Amino acid sequence: MVTNIADAVPRLKRLIPRLRGKRIGVLGDLMLDRYLWGTASRLSPEAAVPVVDFVEQSECLGGAGNVAANIATLGARVEAFGVTGNDEPGRALQKCLRAANIADKGVLADSKRVTTVKTRIIAKHHHVVRVDQERREPLRTETQERLLRLLFSALKHLDALVLSDYDKGLITDDFADRVLSAAHQLHVPVFVKPKTSRLYAYRGARAIVCNAKEAGFYVTRSLADEQSVEEAGRALLAHFGCSAVVITRGEKGMSLFEESSPRHIHIPATGLEVTYARVGQPGVERGATGRQVFDLTGAGDTVLSVLALAAAAGAPLADATMLANTAAGVVVGKLGTASVSPQELTRALQEIHD
């Protein structure tokens, strides 16, 4: 069933103020996104690559940190849980958390680990290259137990928990099972962005969010048409033993499958175009058809964030998914890791309605 977002806009706009003040925990692989900005007007004589003249450096939260930042920007009270290295990037990450008004008592610094850093070099709004610094080994047992104690103590105060798995060693099958069991006992809904290396770790989640490529991996076939998407969604509900599955499909929008409903809901991408001139700016412009995506960095994080927050505010999952779809449409029009404010989200909904 195809859903028309325009018909739901008045309802979705009333939902936005209800997001403020909700208490959301974000557990997962915290990362630092570092940007080196510069200009490029010549090629290197050593190789066919641009020479970037450095102008400035900036940094922001990535991975599970970006999920937390998205939720905080929409006015919720966010508590982050994860592990960094006891290093300069870890301290920079902690500084970013505090600047975003995200509680960081659940973030541990482990001298045996390194903080995951993704460094992007940007020249004249062109993403030239990305350099990753990371290690993926599982947490030490003592570190995992400390983290779980902090999380379990906080769970009773949370309206929802987001589990953001980037396969950096924090989350294992046993770890995820203990987290989901504890959340279930306290009636705290869990929203999960899974990794394909863990096939059964998230059973009992309120909703699983994955993209079409990940969904295809789980069901061992590509999702080439609507029928294959329908079959994959139903299979994933059983596979994860969860209440709902959201498959993000890029320019084709999103599909929501709920255990309680025999029919899935397809939410098309909005008929708005993000133009090059608006990179890094709020809002969108009307274009011909479909969407010109400039930068997909963090779009999946935005979907997960808004879906969880809207559901925690009492919205049906269909409405939560439509709001998440709209928020992602704003974020892909910005260069780099970004979040969406209540004002931007309201404006985007109004443009859809108009």
Rounded to an integer, what distance in angstroms lies between the CA atom of residue 83 and that of residue 138? Answer: 11
CB contact burial 254-288 (16+ within 10 A = b; e otherwise): bbbbbeeeeebbbbbbbebbbeeeeeeebebeeee
Q: Given 29, 165, 301, 319, which residue is catalytic?
A: 301
Q: If you count them, how many residues does the chain have?
A: 354
CA distances from 164 to 28, 281, 352 (A): 5, 27, 29
Question: Which one-letter DSSP state was computed for residue 275?
Answer: -
What are the φ and ψ backbone dihedral angles of 142, each rounded to 5 degrees? -65, -35
Coil, helix or strand for 43? strand
Render 241-269 in DSSP notation, one character per residue: T-SEEEEE-GGG-EEEEETT-SS-EEEPP
Rounded to an integer, what distance in angstroms lies between the CA atom of residue 326 and that of residue 292? Answer: 14
Residues 6+ apart with CB under 8 A from 181: 204
Coil, helix or strand for 154? helix
* Structure-token pair, residue 272: 């708005």
* Structure-token pair, residue 244: 């709902």
319 noted as active-site residue:
no
Report yes or no: 257 and 234 within 8 Å, Cβ to Cβ: yes
Give, in degrees to the nearest 5, the angle at Cα 194 between 316 and 16.
Answer: 30
Please state whether 222 falls in left (phi above 0), alpha (psi between -120 and 50) or beta. Answer: beta
Rounded to an integer, what distance in angstroms lies between the CA atom of residue 347 and that of residue 325? Answer: 14
Angle between helices 64-73 and 299-312 (to 10 degrees): 50
Residues assigned a catalytic role = 301
